[in-house]
Structure 1
Amino acid sequence: MTVADDLGRSDDAETRFVWDYGRSDERLHALYERSKAAQWNATTDIDWDAGVGTPGHVELLGTGLPLERAGSPVPPERWSDFQWEFHSWMTSQFLHGEQGALLATSRLVAMAPDMDTKFYAAAQVADEARHVEAYARYAGLLGNTYQVNPSLKRMLDTVVTESRWDIVFLGMQIIVEGLALAAFRLESCRSFDPVIAQLTRLVARDEARHVTFGVLALREIYGELTSREKAEREEFVKEAALLMSRRFRLEEIWQRLEVNAADGAAYALRDQRMIDFRRVMFTKIITSLAKVGLLTPGVHAHLAQLQLTRAVPAEVNA
């Protein structure tokens, strides 16, 4: 296949039959084998009775919350409520993002241009279904849920309706899954609740393979992009980063706590711990963009402007 034929057209991108059943990529095949061996059961492999937290237990969060109390627009007597709402909001967004990954990856099975990629995408569909199942069960135990964040919804809508298979990979495997991987690893370490800690550890193990899948699928073909194709994908990355960073203004939480939304968003944007949290969350995305050749000076400058990374390093992709 050629990049121009396979990436530049959208009329035949919805479903691709592949009549060559031979192995084409040993790396993807090895990843597929690891995925089969690492399957887990959300019903039996999580101790659901280990103790789901309640609003009265949020003091156990300690310093795990990525915001400083000083300077917060939340009244001191409601800080525990804020911690609980943040935990519930994060859990809900995990759940919604996993459904988006389920829908996007199911499209990749049909759209992928070779059988090895289809095999792994199919294995990931099973992963994502299990993730939705597990997070839905946990959200039910919390009894405190949130609707999908508008910026996340817009990102997911873009990915699941995109006709170019590589953009689906870029948006879901590199951006959304990269962000999720960082979030799950942080959550498994900081959580006051052993149930969500165990759940996110299992999910993070799957997500690490998913991000690797995206890098393997895109690294070679993105080396063949025309200047126009590369510019289009750079703009997609910039818009995706803007949407994903907007999630962390936490408007839904401020609304529920009856805190002025503008004051809350300003606090989330300027709080140093939250800035550091966002940068940690985007670390995997930045690494993956570099591997596929999309960490250009323009992309890196955009990420720095959004406070998702620091100044542009000399070694970014030209």
Structure 2
Amino acid sequence: MSIFLNYSNNFELETTPESFTHHCHGSILWNPHTKDQSMNLTCARLNKIAENKRWNPATDIDWIFRTGNQQFPCIPDANPLVGFDEYEKLPIDTRRQISWRYHKMEISEILHGEQLAMLCASQLMTLMPCMESRLFTSRQAADEARHFEFFRDYLDSVDLSVCPPSPALKRLTVEALQSPHWEIKLLICQVLIESLAMAQFSQLARTTQVTSLRQGLRRILDDEARHVKFGADYLAAHFQHHNADNIIVLSNYIMLEITSLRRPLNWPRPTIIVSPSPLLFVGTSINYAIICADNESTTRHSYNRDSGNFLSISRR
């Protein structure tokens, strides 16, 4: 299988798809019912909401970019360089170009993250234990494809090329897709990526000066909130059957990845804990999460990235 990193004709990315090996063993559920009726009801409710919330980037977004790149992409308060003496001394045209360059890098990273979520969701369709959860992840895969399409079209609409993914996101993408554990895929997709995305999208929606981006982000936020709700509820029920040591290892792994993904976009440290509630089910707390984020030696002790192997999930 492969990951496509060349999305636009305007920018020379790697034209050869990056390959990964898929170790998962899927299953066919001939009996569509499961013992966990409570989760079935939750999934069914979210599936119904997803059906009612479907939108089309081609028809539901105002793609007319009226002012072109003569304006800044975001309000001054959202620009981390505002107030920096050397930046303020630059001509306004140069500052504007720098802002659009940063914006291009940020949206490109989001675009690559949407591909990760789309591919993970497509794998989960054959791996989830119950039929309702498979129906949800099938709809999520369609949601993520829609998000991917929106951000690709947005970059084209403002005449911006696509930047390569950060090393941290590129590595996480391959690790997630190669993991044999559906729990790991769901953690990465529903908790890690989606929670960070919700925080970033909320800020972008508040600060962008581009109407089409604001419109798309508001619709995408509805989708992402639904995805996080599903992942948090499903994993909370599932991890009740895991021992405490494995839960702590999973918590440490998630915090390590959050700190890795934070750096490429220069996120401020408080953004590390962007959505604490989805993390609570893996046995952590706000104070514990901050400790893990500030002390990477602690997190690395529980997960050996160099070995290329994920932890082995055991049950009581």
Change (3 A) 1:60 1:290: closer
Change (3 A) 1:187 1:296: closer
Q: 2:182 aligns with which of 148, 159, 165?
A: 165
Is residue 70 of structure 1 aligned with residue 87 of structure 2?
Answer: no
- Number of residue-to-residue matches in the alignment: 268
Which has the larger helix fraction?
Answer: 1
Is residue 302 of structure 1 aligned with residue 267 of structure 2?
Answer: no
Q: 1:101 aligns with which of 98, 117, 120?
A: 117
2:243 maps to what in 1?
226
Is the contact made by 1:100 and 1:156 (CA closer than 8 Å) also made in structure 2? yes
1:240 maps to what in 2?
257
- Residue type of the alignment partner of 2:270: R
Is residue 198 of structure 1 aligned with residue 215 of structure 2?
Answer: yes
1:61 maps to what in 2?
75
Offset from partner CA, 1:59-82 (integer Å, 9 cap, x none): 862222244432667863333222
Is the contact made by 2:72 and 2:209 (CA closer than 8 Å) also made in structure 1? yes
Cα distance in 2 between the residues matched to 1:83 and 1:101: 27
Give 5+ residue unaligned stretches, structure 1. 1-10, 250-273, 307-318
- Residue type of the alignment partner of 2:222: R
Q: 1:123 aligns with which of 113, 133, 139?
A: 139
Q: 2:33 aligns with which of 22, 27, 30?
A: 22
Cα distance in 2 between the residues matched to 1:152 and 1:28: 29
Higher relative contact order (CA 8 A, sep 6+): 1
1:290 maps to what in 2?
280
Q: Secondary structure at the match of 1:58?
A: coil
- Residue type of the alignment partner of 2:155: A
Is the contact made by 2:73 and 2:210 (CA closer than 8 Å) also made in structure 1? no
Is the contact made by 1:31 and 1:209 (CA closer than 8 Å) also made in structure 2? yes
- Residue type of the alignment partner of 1:289: L
- Residue type of the alignment partner of 1:70: F
Offset from partner CA, 1:265-306 (integer Å, 9 cap, x none): xxxxxxxxx52xx5246421x221014434486543122458
Is residue 41 of structure 1 aligned with residue 56 of structure 2?
Answer: yes
Offset from partner CA, 1:202-256 (integer Å, 9 cap, x none): 111111101111101100122221134224313321321222122224xxxxxxx
- Residue type of the alignment partner of 1:153: K
Cα distance in 2 between the residues matched to 1:130 and 1:76: 38
2:198 maps to what in 1?
181
Offset from partner CA, 1:165-220 (integer Å, 9 cap, x none): 11111111101111111111111111011011111111111111011111011001
Q: Using the TM superposition, name which of 292-301 and 76-85 deviates more.
A: 292-301
Cα distance in 2 between the residues matched to 1:60 and 1:128: 24
Change (3 A) 1:97 1:16: same
- Residue type of the alignment partner of 1:65: N
Give 5+ residue unaligned stretches, structure 2. 1-21, 297-316
1:311 maps to what in 2?
none
Counting only pairs closer than 5 Å after superposition, residues 136-147 of structure 1 correspond to structure 2 as 136-145=152-161, 146-147=163-164
- Residue type of the alignment partner of 1:57: Q
- Residue type of the alignment partner of 1:131: H
RMSD of Structure 2 on Structure 1 (CA): 2.5
Cα distance in 2 between the residues matched to 1:109 and 1:51: 41
Cα distance in 1 between the residues matched to 2:63 and 2:73: 21
Change (3 A) 1:35 1:59: closer
Is residue 31 of structure 1 aligned with residue 42 of structure 2?
Answer: no
Cα distance in 2 between the residues matched to 1:126 and 1:59: 28
Q: Secondary structure at the match of 1:48?
A: coil
- Residue type of the alignment partner of 1:35: A
Identity, % of aligned positions: 24
Cα distance in 2 between the residues matched to 1:179 and 1:157: 18
Cα distance in 2 between the residues matched to 1:156 and 1:69: 35
Relative to the length of structure 2, the TM-score reads 0.77
Cα distance in 1 between the residues matched to 2:200 and 2:126: 29
Cα distance in 2 between the residues matched to 1:230 and 1:60: 40
- Residue type of the alignment partner of 1:200: L
